[in-house]
Amino acid sequence: MGSPLGVLFANFYMGVVEERVFSHLECPLDYFRYIDDTFIKATSTEAIKNLRRTFEDNSVLHFTLENSTTVYTKPTNLGMCLNGESECPARNRASTIKAFVCRALPHCSTWTDTHKELERVAQVLINNGYSNKHVQREVRTVIDKCQLCSVCGVTPLIKSSRV
């Protein structure tokens, strides 16, 4: 989008399309949109595919479907965080580890992706002076306390693009 108004126009257009679509269909369990990226949680894959067809029928856009989500790390991320050897209360260092883990758990839609993200997080923390033993202990503590919804499965992500 070359124009500074591009985001405004895209947001307005998607709002009009959503109004048309949801006047014909029931809204999914969860529906979140940022400009032209939409996060949807529905009762079935068929409901997502039906929603995708309806969006395409009511717009000039082509929508793609991604069946998994992961934590996005910017390419410019240097992997820096609170140093594990810093002079601060131990609860601050533990909180840093917990923040990384609590970010991975709800954002990764499969355990394989969650495991990969937790391995990446462990390496970042070790590179910042945390001991592997401390990292693994905190990760285990957070996961043990976490109560994941048994109903949740893979949450598809629909992305739109111009045709």
pTM of the predicted protein model: 0.58
- Looking at residue 127, what is its pLDDT? 96
- Looking at residue 147, what is its pLDDT? 52
What is the C-alpha to C-alpha distance for residues 49 and 143, in angstroms, rounded to an integer? 33
For 105-145, write each residue's pLDDT tens digit: 878 878 888 899 999 999 999 999 999 999 999 998 888 87
- Looking at residue 129, what is its pLDDT? 96
Q: Is the pLDDT of residue 158 over 60?
A: no
What is the C-alpha to C-alpha distance for residues 75 and 70, in angstroms, rounded to an integer? 15
Domain boundary assignment for the chain = 6-70+152-162, 90-145
As a whole number of Å, the end-to-end CA separation of the chain is 14
